Amino acid sequence: MYQDPMATSQSTSQSTSESASQLLAPALLALLRRQAGVVTRVQAVRAGLTGAHVDRLVARRRWVPLHPRVYRASEYLLTDEARLRAAVLWAGAGAVPCGRAALWWHGLLPGAPSTITLTVPARCPDPRPGVDVCRRVLRDHDVITLRGLTVPVRPLALLDAAVEAGPGGAALLTALRPHVRLAELQAVAGHAIGAAAARRLLTDVSCTPSAHRAEWQTSRNRYS
Look at 199 and 204; give whichever has higher pLDDT.
199
The pTM score is 0.81
- 3-state SS track over 181-211: CHHHHHHHHHHCCCHHHHHHHHHHHHHCHHH
Are the C-beta atoms of 160 and 105 separated by less than 8 Å? no
**What is the Rg, in whole angstroms, of the alpha carbon atoms belonging to the chain?**
22
Of the residues 48, 73, 98, which one is the last residue of a structural domain? 73
Q: Within this chain, do residues 62 and 91 fall inside the same structural domain, yes or no?
A: no
Please tell me whether residue 128 adopts helix, strand or coil conformation.
Answer: strand
pLDDT surpassing 70 at residue 6:
no
Q: Within this chain, do residues 125 and 204 fall inside the same structural domain, yes or no?
A: yes
Q: Is residue 15 part of a domain?
A: no
Q: Within this chain, do residues 219 and 136 fall inside the same structural domain, yes or no?
A: yes
> In the 8-state DSSP scheme, what is residue 115?
S
Q: Within this chain, do residues 108 and 33 fall inside the same structural domain, yes or no?
A: no
Domain boundaries, position 133: 80-223
Q: Is the sign of the CA dihedral 128, 130, 135, 136 positive or negative?
A: negative
Number of domains making up the chain:
2
Q: 14 phi and psi, to 5 degrees? A: -65, -40
DSSP codes of every residue in 132-172: EEEE-PPPGGGEEEETTEEEE-HHHHHHHHHHHTGGGHHHH
Residue 17 has a pLDDT of: 35
Distance (Å, whole) CA 145 – CA 149: 5
Q: Within this chain, do residues 59 and 102 fall inside the same structural domain, yes or no?
A: no
Q: Within this chain, do residues 44 and 85 fall inside the same structural domain, yes or no?
A: no
Distance (Å, whole) CA 126 – CA 128: 7
Q: How many CB atoms lie within 10 A of CB 63?
A: 23
Q: Is residue 183 part of a domain?
A: yes
pLDDT digits (tens, 9 = 90+) for 32-75: 999 999 999 999 999 999 999 999 999 999 999 999 999 999 99
The pLDDT confidence band at residue 21, using thresholds 50, 70 and 90, is: very low
pLDDT surpassing 70 at residue 114:
yes
- 3-state SS track over 40-55: EHHHHHHCCCCHHHHH
Residue 23 has a pLDDT of: 62
Q: Is residue 63 part of a domain?
A: yes
Q: Within this chain, do residues 45 and 99 fall inside the same structural domain, yes or no?
A: no
Contacts of 15 (CB under 8 A, 6+ apart): none
Q: Within this chain, do residues 147 and 91 fall inside the same structural domain, yes or no?
A: yes
Of the residues 51, 73, 95, which one is the last residue of a structural domain? 73
Q: Within this chain, do residues 114 and 201 fall inside the same structural domain, yes or no?
A: yes
Q: What is the mean pLDDT of residues 131-144?
A: 94
Longest Cα–Cα distance of the chain, Å, equals: 87
Please tell me whether residue 83 adopts helix, strand or coil conformation.
Answer: helix
195-207 vs 154-164: helix axis angle to the nearest 10?
Answer: 90
